[in-house]
Amino acid sequence: MIERYTLPEMGRVWSDAHKYELWCRVETLVVEAHAAAGTIPADVVEPVRNAPPPTPEAVHAIEAVTQHDVIAFLSAWADNTEPREAARFVHFGMTSSDLLDTALALQLVEATDILLDKADRLVVTLRDHALEHRATFRVGRTHGIHGEPDVWGHRVADFAFAMARSRDRLRRAREAVGVMAISGAVGTYSNIDPAIERHVADRLDLTPADVSTQVVLRDGIAEWTSALAIMATVCEAIALEVRHGQRTEVRELWEPFGKGQKGSSAMPHKKNPIISERLAGMARIVRAQIVPVMEGIPLWHERDISHSSTERIALPDASIALDYMLNLTNRLMSGLVVDKARMQENLESTGGLIYTSTVLLELVEAGMSRDDEAYPLVQRAAMRTWETGVPFRATLREEAAAAGLALDEARLDEVSRPERFVARLAPMFDRLAALT
């Protein structure tokens, strides 16, 4: 991922320097376990434990010759080991994937914990924003067309619960990727005791794979990537709502716009929804990783490395992009400007058409058949309002008179109040208040 979208904490998780630190940690634990079991001399443990991780530059220089990253790492680390002779027992009985998959599990868990922390904060931001606007009336829209009265807090509550579900989904996926294996070539433990694997797993707080061949099957990593993609897409759903709300014709919502910020190089009046548009674009990057990662599940026999090059790109890119998106979505919702007056103006802009559903039901309750009488009458009145701009109550009165029907004006006043449409949302807001 390019530096523009890489935040420092997540960037470090996927840095080569940190990767080699984790590789050293895994290899050291294996050496310790072997020494405790009497497989290798006990006096090699301290030299290995004290050897500093090799620099990325040192590893890359050797890899340019060996064309094998693990061998290059082991050689560079051996150069840092005093005495160097102790390094001969590093990687004892292991195969490359033992190291790679176990260290990758650690990286995935670390990345997940960063994401979960930010998701927690975003859930709280969305919850608090929704509760603040539980009485902020706006028009609810379907297909982009005005439907019925609603409150802005209702819309945001949906996002809050969706983000909470996404967080919980990712929490479950954390378990799916916290899986390691140290089982040797083709995974039969031919040159390493399963007790070594259990020792390392316990120390790293990872779970040994139920079965490993030479690699851990990638279904857990595919699950994790899918969980990231869903969370990213929830962020995009929030962003899309803001983008629509900031359109000139709507003008109900405004992204935070800082002092000195410029919206356009050519048009000084512009305040564009650039945060939301950026979120929409980055969600595509996260979603795009699902198929390549999933295609790493089927490998040739006990292993090949067709998954390796994909994961070197897809896993860092997905987590770094989502990390940035969570940060940006939190900023968006924390600084979002809600124009209550404009929402009320839009609510009233169609001359009462947003109450047609209630009027329809009132006519049915008064004794009219729904499909043959009430619906056509209300629709005729509504179409006249669309075409002429005459308020719906006036066109309805005229259509009712033509049909020989006297309207109960007081009753229509009662049911044509926005508060009536959202009264039953109270239990939902109570559940929202308890969301953490």
Nearest of 426, 246, 232, 208 to residue 335 by alpha carbon? 246
Q: What is residue 268's predicted lDDT score, i.e. its pLDDT? A: 67
Position 109, amino acid: V
| Chain-centroid distance, C-alpha 112 | 11
Nearest of 279, 178, 164 to residue 223 by alpha carbon? 178
In this structure, is the dihedral angle defined by the CA atoms of residues 62, 64, 65 and 66, taken in order, positive or negative? Answer: positive
Q: Is the pTM of this model over 0.85?
A: yes
Rounded to an integer, what distance in angstroms lies between the CA atom of residue 146 and that of residue 349? 10
Buried b or exposed e, range 23-62, using 16+ CB within 10 angstroms: bbbbbbbbbbbbbeeebbeeebbebbeebebbebebbeeb
Is the separation of the CB atoms in 342 and 247 below 8 Å? no
Which residues are annotated as catalytic? 143, 264
Report DSSP letters for 44-77, one per residue.
GHHHHHHSPPPPHHHHHHHHHHH--HHHHHHHHH
For residue 324, give the 3-state DSSP assignment: helix
- Average pLDDT per block of 10 residues along the chain, 436 residues long: 94 98 98 96 96 97 96 97 95 96 98 98 98 97 96 98 98 98 94 96 97 92 98 98 96 84 65 93 98 95 90 97 98 97 96 94 90 94 96 94 89 91 95 97
Is the separation of the CB atoms in 347 and 139 below 8 Å? yes
Q: What is residue 274's predicted lDDT score, i.e. its pLDDT? A: 93
